[in-house]
Amino acid sequence: MLRKIFNFDSIRNKWAEKMKILLILTVLALTISSCNTNQKKMTSEEINPFFSEFGTPFEVPAFDKIKTIHFMPAILEAIKKHSEEIGTIVNNPELPTFENTIEAKERSGSLLTRVSNVFYNLTGTNTNDELQKIAQDLAPVLSAHYDNIKLNKELFIRVKTVYENKENLNLNPEQQMLLEKTYRDFVRGGANLNEDDQEILRKVNQELAVMTTKFGDNLLAETNDFKLVIDNEADLTGLPEFVRETGRGDAKAAGLEGKWLFTLDKPSLIPFLQYSSKRDLRKKIFMGYINMGNNNNDHDNKSIASRIAALRVRKANLLGFKTWAHFVLEENMAKTPEMVYELMNQVWNAAQIKAREEKTELEKMMEADGVSGKLEAWDWWYYAEKLRKQKYDLNDEILKPYFELFSVRQGMFDVANKLFGLTFKERFDIPKPHEDAFVFEVFDDDGTHQAILFMDFFPRASKKSGAWMSSYRDQSKINGKNITPIITMVMNFSKPIGDTPSLLTFEEVSTLFHEFGHALHGMLSDCTYEMLSGTSVSRDFVELPSQIMENWVGEPEVLQSFAKHYKTGEPIPENLFKKIKASQHFNQGFATVEFTAAAFLDMSWHTITDTVVRETLSFESGELNKIGLMPEIVVRYRTPYFSHIFAGGYSAGYYSYQWAEVLDADAFEAFREKGLFDKATATSFRKNILEKGGTEDPMKLYIQFRGADPKSEPMLKRKGLN
């Protein structure tokens, strides 16, 4: 997953309507005085670190100096400054030019970006009630701020003037793209609407900002709320030592020494489902998981989700689109909902057939286990794990000792070194976003500084679940000077306990490589404009650099380089990785059905054509029945915890992972043909994909790299669905 810090448009803009500035500043002032008592305690001699250079190596944020009280005043000032900058552009007496309008607008708002990047990374990884309150208060204010820029008539006239004269400007491709995108963003932001409709749009945007923030906060609370506490050792039946150890460690951390605690965090939940022979307890934790946000309490997300969907239709309709999906997809490679459905239908039937075969095998296992009745969703993980052991003599317990986190990380760095010549040096003199995080300086092959990379691996209550990449500073060039990126990778892997280091499952190893692929996209960016740099590409293209990295994990020569037993240092035995290879299609029916059902559900919510607020659960089950989802498999994300689409940037975009799978499988074929570490192929991938950001059309970039259109056969073959 890739988490864009700016859920709202990352266009740096402002607004110049003075009255509105006053209004918003009043709202902010009220917010501060009414809800944040700490603000009052700030004395004049306290210096807000955002108002001067950080004075740290590479100007990384001064995490050691930044306090919660600094955010509101800094954002308030940043909004004011941003507005003044927009005012300067609008009031420029000279005729509009690319430089004095398009480029000037792109460069504006740098303070706001600087503060927001720190703030939103922090609310994702180390939040607290105070930060969440600030985020909720800020959501409508920032939404209004950006609307005031996009709906600024005088500014739009200047942009339009430049745009209409584009043929005569002699712009390079990146400048052309910046102009094109800027103009389109205004149009898509409502610049051509009449004033009444603009007023409605503002309200819709503000409510959406509040609702999506609330959705994410609720989900975090729900993840933390559920606790399966075991105090009778007999209830641990089936759990291997590493799972018991995690349970013991989590219980201790929660003040429940001597007991075992299992939570809805993936490193706790999944092994429990895979190994616990206690069917009732599996059911309990499974039901806890699939009912997150659906407990009819203060953190219920059902009505929020359906309200968000209705507001999105309203917005799409205002802007002249039939549905939200049409509005979103216009900017993606897929272009239309029909293209998305075509892709999903390509895999859906084959995946269902495969999943039904898998189900039959699991039912036999269950029968042999002496359990009568129907195979239930909470049985799938358990019997799949048993079957995997039986068929391939392979399970996570056997593999994990070979995947010690730091050894895997080194293996990952080595892959980047062989492909792109990068080297990584851990630094201990740079402030970190959290004490558990690591910081690396990244060098290009000629030894020049390329980027700063933070890595934050372990779960905690203040951190959202899942894995993602984000940035504290995107790469850009200002007056010929290269501004290097500051990137972060956030994971939720098992923490080291006692003498046992953090040991990963094979899937977690792939996740690490996946996020590292996003990080490379951010770190190797070589663009001029921040708005187009790094991962600022269309949603269905952004998963190509991440997913392609997962391919190297499956290659014996790569795996052997880092998979070493954490106790003995012995490399993974050849027969083990042969088993890994042999089992690569195992349970793929399940995985593909679980995923594709979620992609369908996303499209269902976003191809609604009216603004009726639906009853969430009956809508969901109706839509999943339509595609014939089998009852033994629960959609990967049910609506109340589908944060990708209701809190993140993947609405009408969850299909992107599958779309990008076509691209990554096809792109990796180039490495298979020429060599896993073939320099020319790697350099071409770097030059055409990783360095280019969103400066050119993604399909054009892809074809430049591959020399042909992408084909779906390699993806189908990899999944065993051809």
- Residues marked as catalytic: 515
Q: Does 206 bind Zn ion (CB under 5 A)?
A: no
Using the minimum distance from each CB to Zn ion, give the nearer residue, 624 or 652: 652
Q: Classify 6 as helix, strand or coil.
A: coil
Residue 633 touches Zn ion, criterion: CB under 5 A: no
Contacts of 408 (CB under 8 A, 6+ apart): 504, 509, 512, 562, 563
CB of 517 to Zn ion, least distance (A): 8
Q: How far apart are CA 39 and CA 49, in angstroms?
A: 15
What residues from 544 to 583 belong to the interface with Zn ion (CB under 5 A)?
546
d(CA 556, CA 516): 19
- Min separation Cβ 545 and Zn ion, Å: 9
Nearer to Zn ion, 274 or 488 (CB): 488
Q: Is 91 exposed, middle or buried (0-12, 13-18, 19+ CB in 10 A)?
A: exposed
Closest CB 489 distance from Zn ion, rounded Å? 11
Nearer to Zn ion, 50 or 655 (CB): 655
Tokens of 520: 């490379």
Closest by alpha carbon to 33, among 76, 65, 67? Answer: 76
Closest CB to Zn ion among 294 and 596? 596
Residue number with CB closer to Zn ion (485 or 517): 517
For residue 672, the one-letter residue type is R
Closest CA to 475 of 530, 403, 513: 530
d(CA 543, CA 177): 21
* Cα torsion 240, 242, 246, 249: sign: positive
Task: Classify residue 707 as left (phi > 0), alpha (psi -120 to 50) or beta.
Answer: left
Handedness of CA 258, 262, 265, 268 (dihedral sign): positive
Q: Distance between CA 380 and CA 403 in Å, rounded? A: 25
Looking at the Cβ atoms of 310 and 660, the one nearer to Zn ion is 660
Which ranges of 524-628 would DSSP assign to H, the alpha helix?
A: 543-553, 556-562, 574-582, 588-606, 616-626
Query: What is the C-alpha to C-alpha distance for residues 125 and 106, in angstroms, rounded to an integer?
Result: 28
Rounded Cα distance between 418 and 641, Å, is 39
3-state secondary structure of 257: coil
Beta carbon of residue 467, minimum distance to Zn ion (angstroms, whole number): 8
Question: Using the rule CB under 5 A, is 2 a contact of Zn ion?
Answer: yes
Minimum distance of Zn ion from residue 207's CB (angstroms): 28
3-state secondary structure of 192: coil
Tell me the pairing of strands 449-456 and 486-490: parallel
Options 183-191, 197-205, 435-443, 542-550: segment touching Zn ion (CB under 5 A): 542-550
The minimum distance between CB 510 and Zn ion, in angstroms, equals 11
3-class SS of residue 606: helix
Binding segment for Zn ion (CB under 5 A), chosen from 47-55, 139-147, 213-221, 538-546, is 538-546
Q: Is the dihedral of CA 398, 553, 546, 407 positive or negative?
A: positive
CB of 608 to Zn ion, least distance (A): 26
User: What does the per-residue mask of binding to Zn ion show for 491-530, with x meaning CB under 5 A?
Assistant: ----------------------------------------
Select the residue whose beta carbon is closest to Zn ion and give its number. 546
Cβ proximity to Zn ion, 1 vs 261, nearer residue: 1
- Specify the 3-state DSSP secondary structure of 468: strand
Interface with Zn ion by CB under 5 A: which range of 176-184, 241-249, 371-379, 540-548? 540-548
Least distance from C-beta 387 to Zn ion, angstroms?
Answer: 29
Task: Output 441 or 666, the one with its CB closest to Zn ion.
Answer: 666
Q: Which stretch binds Zn ion (CB under 5 A): 1-9, 144-152, 227-235, 552-560?
A: 1-9
Q: Which residues lie below 8 Å from residue 100, measured CB to CB, with a gap of 6+?
A: 89, 92, 94
CA 306 to chain centre: 22
Write phi, then psi, for 38 (nearest 5 degrees): -60, -30
Q: What value does the CA radius of gyration of the chain take, rounded to a whole number of Å? A: 25
Where would I find the beta strands (DSSP E) of 92-174?
A: none
- Report the residue number, 383 or 468, with the smaller CB distance to Zn ion: 468
Residue number with CB closer to Zn ion (1 or 179): 1
Q: Using CB atoms within 10 A of its CB, is residue 234 exposed (0-12), middle (13-18) or buried (19+)?
A: exposed
Give 1 or 78: the residue with its C-beta nearer to Zn ion: 1
| 655 within 8 A of 334, measured Cβ to Cβ | yes
Minimum CB separation from Zn ion for residue 62, in Å? 29
Give strand pairing partners of 488: 454, 470
Beta carbons of 523 and 448 less than 8 angstroms apart: no
Q: How far is the CB of 468 from Zn ion (least distance, A)?
A: 7
Least separation in angstroms between CB 514 and Zn ion: 6
Q: Are 452 and 486 in contact (CB under 8 A)?
A: yes
Binding-site size for Zn ion (CB under 5 A) equals 3
Q: Scanning residues 90 to 149, which ones bind Zn ion (CB under 5 A)?
A: none
> What are residue 500's DSSP bridge partners?
497
Q: Which residues contribute to the site for Zn ion (CB under 5 A)?
A: 1-2, 546
